[in-house]
Amino acid sequence: MMLKLYGFSKVNAYARGHTRDLRVLWALEEMQLPFELVGIDHPAHDLNTEAYRRLSPFEQIPAIDDEGLVLSESAAIVVYLAKKTGRLIPGDHAGEAQVIRWCFTAMNSVEPPLLSLMVHDWTADGSCSKPRDFLVGWVNRVLTNLERWFADRDFVATKDFTVADVPDGARAALGHQGRGIDHAVSASRVVSRSVPGPTRVEAHHRGVRRTSRGGIDRQSRPRAR
């Protein structure tokens, strides 16, 4: 069965040429992998269906179905494809770590300020009273989908606690810090379910103590499990 890539068949004019499915398309072409492109009509709300949500919990493009292995998030997809095929990724741990580092850099350090500027431009015509209103709505949609994802699971990626639960639990905790956020209670539940309490509390307290002193906690050591 051929790999299926879910990408846009129709998208709003301002997003054309800037969508995240193009990253996966580029990687697939570079890797010379055969694939079937499944078109998603954004203006027709194809993303906001239960069927598509099973592929991409946050109702975003792209997603892939590789013989039953379903994956979303463009950086995760390109890393998966590279590791599966052995193409466009070094075979040693050090080289692989650098590739993964720069995939995370693109998503976490480079994209957020660019996206924030795009949001500002989108709302500058008065269609939204304030850019913050747009962002609050966005955050609420994300937390709604996160709550839905945790409806029948305890951990975010697998049946066991993994490193994926650390950043996801920490990000959800930010739901308490924003005015107008509808899902602070839901975010709290995500944190409590996805991150084992004692270790998270200890790490938090240690970090607060360290930053309040302005120095490194020399007593830091691995916690025995």
So what's the pLDDT on residue 134? 77
So what's the pLDDT on residue 124? 73
Go through the domains of the chain in sequence order and give each one's CATH number: 1-118 (3.40.30.10)
So what's the pLDDT on residue 152? 87
Structure tokens at 65: 């179905």
By CB neighbour count within 10 A (0-12 exposed, 13-18 middle, 19+ buried), where does 126 fall?
A: exposed
pLDDT in tens, the chain (225 residues): 899 999 999 988 878 888 899 999 999 999 999 999 999 999 999 999 999 999 999 999 999 999 999 999 999 999 999 999 999 999 999 999 999 999 999 998 888 888 888 777 777 776 666 777 778 888 888 888 888 888 888 888 888 878 777 765 555 555 545 566 665 545 555 555 555 556 655 655 666 566 666 554 444 455 544
Q: Which residues lie closer than 8 Å to 219 by C-beta, 6 or more apart?
A: none
- End-to-end alpha carbon distance in the chain: 43
By CB neighbour count within 10 A (0-12 exposed, 13-18 middle, 19+ buried), where does 7 fall?
A: buried
So what's the pLDDT on residue 66? 98
Contact 20, 60 (CB under 8 A): yes
Give CA–CA dist 51/41, Å, rounded. Answer: 14
Instruction: Name residue 71's beta-bridge partners.
Output: 64
